[in-house]
Amino acid sequence: MPHKIEVIATEEAFCTPEIYKRTKELVGQPGLSRSLELMAKTVFGESPQSAYLKERLFDLGEGRLKEMREHGVDRQVISLTSPGVQALGADVAVGLAREANDMLAEAIKNHPSKFAGLTAVYPLDVMEAAREVERGATQLGLKGVIVNSHTAGLYLDDPRFRDFLAAAEAYSMPIYLHPREPSPGMEQPYVDYGLFFAGWGFAAETGLHAMRLIMSGRLDEFPGLRIILGHLGEGLPYWMKRIDNRYKLQASLGNGNPIKELPSFYFNRNFWITTSGMEDPAALRLCLENVPNDRIMFAGDFPYEDPRGSAEMVRSTVTDPSLLHRIFEGTATGLFGLNREQ
């Protein structure tokens, strides 16, 4: 590596004013899940902390670039913040996703060496989502897809999403499976004490989503799918040996599954993980043991975290320069094809 390592942060959020406004307006709407209402009230709420986040989510220009310099981040892979258009009505969601993607593509065009981005979609309109993946890949120069976990309680293993998964595979667009609050079918015990939020419920929701993709057999159908999990794999690296072990017991008890290989086979073949929101050297060390080392990328989770925490954690844990290069730059460059436009 003759050059200085480029620090690429891979889970960095933005929001359009219109999507922000409509998310805020969800509060009080009939039929809303309780944890979604709490999300809208707090993250999109009236506190000084919300105002701080909002200012940064809206900025795709100088403010963001200034903070990147302060944080030592050379490039951001930017995606529409959670829950994005997936919490909005079908009547507006498709159009708002397209607008968000246009806006993001414009910002990337203005700062091609500083920004890259993922395509927002409304998965429930499956054919439109597949078309938007194609448009993101072929017209907008976007490098993957952001899916903020469930949409109306449905997970990507649902058979209706096959055409969307096929498009992501066909256009080599990795899917970043990002957290949101637990789905309506599981939210009840997560509503109390803020457990729906990023401290617990987000990982419960997103880890489950990943497990559904693995256990449904969908990765036998789409073996080329590339899925990214933040937060050091949403717990899966901690559990993978037990998951395999209990999968075998379950099969011997006659509660079999349709998958062809052990769960860990799919995790190792189809998944990448990032360091977003994790400042724990012990957790990174576990991942370096349990996850292929070309599958771990840096992420800052801007503006929800100070990216310096996660970056310092990586630097204090990893001493091998080539591994450090891979985590901060090499793996992201390869996975997203980041050098195409430079």
Comparison of 99 and 306: residue with beta carbon closer to its own copies: 306
Q: Exposed/middle/buried for 55, CB within 10 Å: 0-12, 13-18, 19+? A: exposed
Least distance (Å) between residue 56 CB and its own copies = 14
Comparison of 96 and 278: residue with beta carbon closer to its own copies: 278
Comparison of 92 and 186: residue with beta carbon closer to its own copies: 186
Least distance (Å) between residue 172 CB and its own copies = 27
Least distance (Å) between residue 46 CB and its own copies = 8
Collapsing DSSP to helix, strand or coil, 12 comes out as strand
| Residue ranges in the chain assigned as alpha helix (H) | 17-24, 34-42, 48-58, 62-71, 90-110, 126-138, 162-170, 201-215, 218-221, 231-234, 236-252, 263-270, 281-290, 307-317, 321-325, 331-336
Query: Dihedral, CA atoms, 100, 102, 103, 109, nearest 10 degrees?
Result: 140
Q: Which of 138, 141, 104 is nearest to 120 (CA)?
A: 104
Which residues are 80's β-sheet partners?
14
Tell me which of 244, 301, 306, 320 is the catalytic residue. Answer: 301
Least distance (Å) between residue 314 CB and its own copies = 14
Inter-residue contact 327 to 318 (CB < 8 Å):
yes
Comparison of 116 and 283: residue with beta carbon closer to its own copies: 283
- Respond yes or no: is residue 301 known to be catalytic: yes
Q: Which residues are catalytic?
A: 301
